[in-house]
Amino acid sequence: MHSSHLLLEEPIRMASILEPSKPSFFPAMTKIVGTLGPRSRSVDVVSGCLKAGMSVARFDFSWGDSEYHQETLENLKAAVKSTKKLCAVMLDTVGAELRVLNRSEKSISLKAEGTVVLTPDIEQDASSEVLPINFAGLSKAVKKGDTIFVGQYLFTGSETTSVWLEVDEVKGEDVICVIKNSATLAGSLFTLHASQIHIDMPTLSDKDKEVISTWGVANKIDFLSLSYTRHAEDVRQARELLSKLGDLHQTQIFAKIENIEGLTHFDEILQEADGIILSRGNLGIDLPPEKVFLFQKAALYKCNMAGKPAVVTRVVDSMTDNLRPTRAEATDVANAVLDGSDAILLGAETLRGLYPIETISTVGRICAEAEKVFNQDLYFKRTVKYVGEPMTHLESIASSAVRAAIKVKASVIICFTSSGRAARLIAKYRPTMPVLSVVIPRLKTNQLKWSFSGAFEARQSLIVRGLFPMLADPRHPAESTNATNESVLKVALDHGKVSGVIKSHDRVVVCQKVGDASVVKIIELED
């Protein structure tokens, strides 16, 4: 399976490009986050999304109420049960999002060179002359000549569905703008983005806090996507809120970088957060177009070296309405993988797109092809050099396991873990083969009742590239006194065989704790 790994530096045979891609049990090592919504909430469609390769379901609370999302989540649970595919849940906050409210939902036509007034008076109806917005402080934040963008579900940048405005004058709380391009806005909600301007709204709104403490707690969410993260303090405040909510102290926080402020404080945000989402929709407006790729490369490199998952958004916008991506989009997905992205996040493409299942499987196929030419050797050397010496005990075990697996051409790495940390460290070195993370549940008590931990840890690895979790039977200990730990290992190997990643005579690298020591061993399978 893995001898076919090329490096981009090697000459790629044209004939190999024409060979059909081989299907495999793991569609791709890179994960896919799908946003569930009107087009993707029935049990059938969600099941199709899971089979196509979605491993994290995102619930976007900038529209729809808790009841609506709860129904979708119940359908997701049913789909998980029927497909037997694990799926994590991500709650996406609204954050400091500026919006135009269009209650009548009639389309609004705006003509180039005309003017339009942005007003905080939300009693007014949206029309081609007036756009009511949800923020009274805009008039204080902008000045003549500033740029404002308005579009549905983050502007696609295609100039017929989103509009580019230039501030002409500020009158009281109203902002009068010149329309720079003709466009038709359709739908009930449009996002408004003031380019490179500080918006004085809290990162966690009161509505966000309420949703997290009700819907989030009831559903034990795995990930919180923190929209408009601008400072490390935003992440700390979110963490404080989660730690007060009992069941959510284990929820991981992914900071969404959407503007210049988040970019400026990127390093300290990365230190605080559990992962990063590069929201290229908004960033592409805050940054000049020629700088977006630079930010993507620099940010992904930093996330990779820190061993924290990085998620890239807005890759196949055109698949919202079409069955195939453009050539540029297909190349963009591949480049995100080559740059080191852990996951690709699909928004409008699955939320209201016409082809949610096809989009997921197309993106998965492109990721799988890009992974074949990912320069693992260079990446490995760079990571080891970055970590430096002396390495910590765990880091040295993780890097040794990956090096051994590559040298002996192992078909899979099996890692026993209870917190998930060891498995994530192995994945940090981006092995070319899947890492089966066998999460051993731990028994814990709060004096009133006993409970098993482990489900959170297993689901949270569903966003890490190359990591595939399975939950072990709690009766088997993760740490064993003998070096074989037969029973759990057998279950893991059987799982690998059933899923087609392990065949007889394959070599497998196993990473586990034996007593106080961590052990990496290579086993060769019999018939």
Q: Return the CATH number of 108-195, one of 3.20.20.70, 2.40.33.10, 3.30.2310.20, 3.60.20.10.
A: 2.40.33.10
The pLDDT assigned to 513 comes to 77
DSSP string, 400-416: HHHHHHHHTT-SEEEEE
The pLDDT assigned to 171 comes to 93
The pLDDT assigned to 25 comes to 60
The pLDDT assigned to 349 comes to 92
Residue 393 in this model has a pLDDT that exceeds 70: yes
Pick the range with the lowest mean pLDDT from 20-29, 160-169, 326-335, 476-485.
476-485
Please tell me which residue, 8 or 511, carries the higher pLDDT value: 511
Q: Which CATH fold topology does 24-96+202-372 show?
A: TIM Barrel (3.20.20)
Q: Which CATH superfamily is domain 376-525 in?
A: Pyruvate kinase, C-terminal domain (3.40.1380.20)
> End-to-end distance of the chain based on CA atoms, in angstroms?
18
β-sheet bridge partners, residue 115: 178
Residue 1 in this model has a pLDDT that exceeds 60: no
CA–CA gap between residue 503 and residue 506 (Å, rounded): 6
User: Residues 73, 77, 78, CA angle at the centre, nearest 5°?
Assistant: 115
Residue 3 in this model has a pLDDT that exceeds 90: no
Residue 454 in this model has a pLDDT that exceeds 80: no
**Continuous segment of H or E residues that includes residue 194:** strand 189-194
Please tell me which residue, 190 or 515, carries the higher pLDDT value: 190
The pLDDT assigned to 484 comes to 46
In the chain, list all ranges with CATH 3.40.1380.20.
376-525
User: What's the full length of the chain, in residues?
Assistant: 527
Summary mean pLDDT of the chain:
88
The pLDDT assigned to 203 comes to 93
CA–CA gap between residue 329 and residue 327 (Å, rounded): 5
Residue 115 in this model has a pLDDT that exceeds 70: yes
In the chain, list all ranges with CATH 3.20.20.60.
24-96+202-372
Residue 478 in this model has a pLDDT that exceeds 80: no
Q: 157-166, 231-240, 283-292: which has the highest mean pLDDT?
A: 231-240
Residue 481 in this model has a pLDDT that exceeds 50: no
For residue 348, CA distances in Å to 35, 101, 360 come to 7, 19, 12
Pick the range with the lowest mean pLDDT from 33-42, 60-69, 147-156, 264-273.
147-156
Encode pLDDT of 145-203 as tens digits. Answer: 999 999 875 555 566 788 999 999 999 999 999 999 999 888 777 888 888 888 888 99
* % of the chain residues with pLDDT over 70: 90
Encode pLDDT of 400-450 as tens digits. Answer: 999 999 999 999 999 998 888 899 999 999 999 999 998 887 777 766 767
Say which residues have a Cβ less than 8 Å from residue 239's Cβ, sequence separation at least 6. Answer: 253, 272
Q: Quick one: 69 exposed, middle or buried, by C-beta within 10 A (0-12, 13-18, 19+)?
A: buried
pTM of the model: 0.91
What is the average pLDDT across 240-249? 89
Pick the range with the lowest mean pLDDT from 194-198, 215-219, 487-491.
487-491
The pLDDT assigned to 151 comes to 84
The pLDDT assigned to 15 comes to 65
In the chain, list all ranges with CATH 2.40.33.10.
108-195
The pLDDT assigned to 23 comes to 60
Identify the CA nearest to 309 among candidates 280, 334, 273: 273
What is the average pLDDT across 12-25? 67
Confidence band (pLDDT; 50, 70, 90) for 470? confident
What is the average pLDDT across 281-301? 90
Q: Quick one: 297 exposed, middle or buried, by C-beta within 10 A (0-12, 13-18, 19+)?
A: middle
The pLDDT assigned to 202 comes to 92
The pLDDT assigned to 66 comes to 93
